[in-house]
Amino acid sequence: MSNKKVLLGMSGGVDSSVSALLLKKQGYDVIGITLELFPGSSCCNTETYIDAKNVCNSIGIPHIIYNQKEEFKCKVIDNFIKEYSNQRTPNPCIECNKYMKFGAMYEKAKELGCDYIATGHYAIMEYSEKYKKYILRKSKNILKDQSYVLYNMPKELLGKIIFPLGEFETKEDVRRVAKENNLKVANKPDSEDICFIPDGDYKKFLEINSELKPKKGNIVRTTGEILGEHQGLYRYTIGQRKGLGISYKAPLFVIGFNKQKNELIVGEEKEIYKKEFLVNEVNLLLIDEIKEPMEVEVKTRYSSKNAKATIMKENEKIKVILEEPQRAITPGQSAVFYKDDIVIGGGKIL
């Protein structure tokens, strides 16, 4: 292979570090890049930069830091705040992938004359003879698969992204490669939380960084019966049971919001199951449009299992009809559609 240039996103963790090593061994001309996104976040702090730079030095590739703080605030943080203000529960990783890793980073790659960009995500990008195009598939590591958070990538990037870890079946295999090659980050723990909220307290983050402040209102049943008081609608999400501070003859869960009346609507468990819903902001990767009803598998949260469904076009939206009702379908989260293990596309749940 001629030395094709690839720009690799590096967080200083084991996944992106092993990705750098593998690409170098495969003969690519690799440049490591760490995006500077949010001061003090788990994916871009001083330790991150040092770890990423050290790994690059140890395997003999250049490393750059790219300041994208303004863009990140505008596209990811502001969106996060806006969604919670409207009683929706966002997944900021999806926005970050779309605008930062596959937006700003791709533009930087073109500027540097790179042929590809790469990340340490667990997913597979490959050419399909069946579809005569590049497709995005689930990784071999089913526990770590991240294809769900990648559905929103620009379609024109299919075939221009490399996921070096897609064929690994376990995280232990990735760590083993790091140890065998003396990478100092081999045992570095995974970061699980939202990167810009390292302590996991999203309510505190919203209160410090936005106009959202605790504003009490009634907790009500669908019948209008008042059961107690909530502390501000942004502090709750669909399906939540803990922290409601109310007692009732049966366990109660958040099933909806009435923003006009500042009411939190609760119901029994059977009321949090839904059989159909709509999605908008649709991004299709495998096909250009949904012409007729299509049988798919749908994933409605990063942590949820695939469920069988039929999807169909409804104006500019997609209607999803589930074979079996699913629990806590949450506005603001993404619904991602699969055929076998190939990502068809997805959209935001309304």
Residue 344: closest CA among 260, 279, 265, 247:
279
Between CA 197 and CA 235 the distance in angstroms is 15
Residue 266: closest CA among 280, 255, 250:
255
* Residue 138: strand pairing partners: 123
CA 58 to chain centre: 30
Active-site residue list: 96, 195
Say which DSSP state 44 is in: B
Q: Other CB atoms closer than 10 Å to residue 276's CB: what's the count?
A: 12
Q: Other CB atoms closer than 10 Å to residue 120's CB: what's the count?
A: 22
Indicate the helix (H) or strand (E) that contains 57: helix 46-59
Say which DSSP state 325 is in: E
Residue 30: closest CA among 66, 61, 76, 74:
61
* Torsion angle, alpha carbons of 119, 121, 126, 132, to 10: -100
Q: At what angle do helices 78-85 and 202-209 cross, to 10 degrees?
A: 100
Give the start-end residues of each E strand in the chain. 5-9, 29-36, 63-67, 116-118, 123-128, 133-138, 161-162, 217-220, 226-230, 253-258, 263-267, 273-284, 294-299, 307-314, 317-327, 334-339, 342-349
CA distances from 134 to 27, 37, 84, 161, 285 (A): 22, 30, 35, 10, 9
CA distances from 50 to 59, 62, 65, 187 (A): 14, 13, 11, 16
Q: At what angle do helices 14-25 and 46-59 cross, to 10 degrees?
A: 20
